[in-house]
Amino acid sequence: MIAQSLLGRTIVSPRVREIGLRIFAILLILTLFVGGVQLRRSIGENTRHVRYQHDIINAFYWGQETLKEGRQLSPDNSSANSWTGLFCGYLALYDRVKDDAYESDYGLDYPPLRLLTMAIWSKQVRDGYPWVDNEHPKLVNPLLKINLICELISAAAIFFLVQLCVRRSVHAHSTWPTWLSRERRASICGLAAASVAWLEPSMILDAHGWPQWDVWILPFYLFAALAALKNRWFWCGCLLAFGAMLKGQLLFVAPFFVLWPLWQKRWPGALRVLAGFTATAALIVSPWLLRTPGACIVFVAVAGASFLIALRYKLPDKAAWLAGILGCAVFIIGALTGGSFAWFEIGFLYGTKHYPYLFISSCYNLASLLAAAGWSLKDHLLSAHLGSVHFHLTLQWALRLFFLGAVALCVRGAARYLRNRDPRVLIAITAPWLLMFALLGQMHERY
């Protein structure tokens, strides 16, 4: 019977086959979901004795420091442990860390949204389990649940990515078996890819055995790629900015999405990516930039003038351009009115200086080969003098430029595969992450 079905002979009605396929797909998805959750739970429970506690303790420490800062700034005890107190401490912590640091050694290297997440987590743990210590599983379980949600969303994003690319593909016209349409073929390929991602060992071990928070940026990158494939460039930029505010490593691969429309000679698309990125980043960091009443008044005036101009003239994608202009205005006003950029220096720049090594731990890439040959991250390759200005090209920046050139080649491949409606565009979308690990310095083995 199975052989006859595969050979295309009709032995059951199409309606019965459709119902059977749907039931099979639902059962398969439920089995994969439950099995994946149980696997993660088992790994989380059985790796406590080898767990790398430093990252957990460090995250909890900075969450507690945020709460402590909020209590010090609160006018009374009733608001000291409130959500208002937490937010006040969150806004003040970057400046306090910067002021107290010795020789710019901040200790804190969290971008804004990751610090906020750790602060909320610390408050929840202390409110619900005030007696727990750093080794207790109650401490880390909320973060493991966030990892689980991000992994699940990432698997769903991979399903939609593969389904879209296979559906568009000119190579998806196989006639065997005859009853398998292109839509079904695309869904099967998407489900297979999502299943592999959901059960991927290294991601599970990193998120539940180590554990770390690298998986937090995966949903944002994958859905940004999906938005780019659908020419939703503004939303692509928004997703990239939101993800970068959780983990700064996303900034290394973000140029891929700016170069993508440029290679296709669609420069408005690149501007929309930048507009979405700028608007979202400005929205997140505006409490640090617009700190004074004068800054807020200037911003309101700029926003009002921009709205009036937008209403007067008919422009395509008016909302996207307006959001980008207002985002730029936030950064410019913040720079001119004494806004704080400590969040940027601590959350993004400090991490690139804190570990001045070509590689960290057991990392096998180009940087480790250079280290074995006697090179170091800050070695000067070229030096130039223009009057009183001195330029030095270090090995760190040479590797970054090399990586950027490799990303440009990935963009070229993506544009070519898109033009040919070839699903191998997915390889080009994935390649920047592989190249980041292979070519850049300061990479950790878990990446």
The pLDDT score that the predictor gives to residue 357 is: 83
Could you tell me the pLDDT band of residue 48, with boundaries at 50, 70 and 90?
A: confident
- Inter-residue contact 310 to 318 (CB < 8 Å): yes
Cα 5 to chain center, whole Å?
A: 44
Q: How far is CA 360 from CA 70, 189, 350, 400, 435, in A?
A: 35, 36, 16, 17, 17
Select the highest-mean-pLDDT range: 45-59, 275-289, 302-316, 388-402: 275-289
Q: Which has more pLDDT, 11 or 335?
A: 335
Tokens of 73: 């700034």
150-154 average pLDDT score: 97
pLDDT tens-digit map of 14-36: 777 778 878 988 999 999 999 99
| Interatomic CA distance for residues 335 and 331, integer angstroms | 6
| Interatomic CA distance for residues 87 and 26, integer angstroms | 43
pLDDT at 170 over 70: no
pLDDT at 415 over 80: yes
Share of the chain above pLDDT 90, in %: 56
The pLDDT score that the predictor gives to residue 219 is: 96
Q: Is the peptide bond before 211 cis (omega within 30 degrees of 0)?
A: yes
- Inter-residue contact 58 to 115 (CB < 8 Å): no
Could you tell me the pLDDT band of residue 8, with boundaries at 50, 70 and 90?
A: very low
- Inter-residue contact 284 to 114 (CB < 8 Å): no
The pLDDT score that the predictor gives to residue 13 is: 74
405-418 average pLDDT score: 94
218-229 average pLDDT score: 97
pLDDT at 244 over 90: yes
Q: What is the pTM of this model?
A: 0.90
Tokens of 411: 């963009």
**In the Cβ-directed half-sphere of 186, how many Cα atoms lie within 13 Å?**
18
pLDDT at 180 over 70: no
DSSP characters over 83-130: HHHHHHHHHHHHHHHHHH-BTTB-S----HHHHHHHHHHHHHHHHH-T
Could you tell me the pLDDT band of residue 4, with boundaries at 50, 70 and 90?
A: very low
The pLDDT score that the predictor gives to residue 3 is: 44
Determine how β-strand 389-394 pairs with β-strand 380-386.
Answer: antiparallel
pLDDT at 212 over 60: yes
Domain boundaries, given as residue ranges, for the chain: 1-46+136-212, 58-123, 232-351, 355-447
85-105 average pLDDT score: 91
Interior CA angle at 140 toward 69 and 241, to 5°?
65
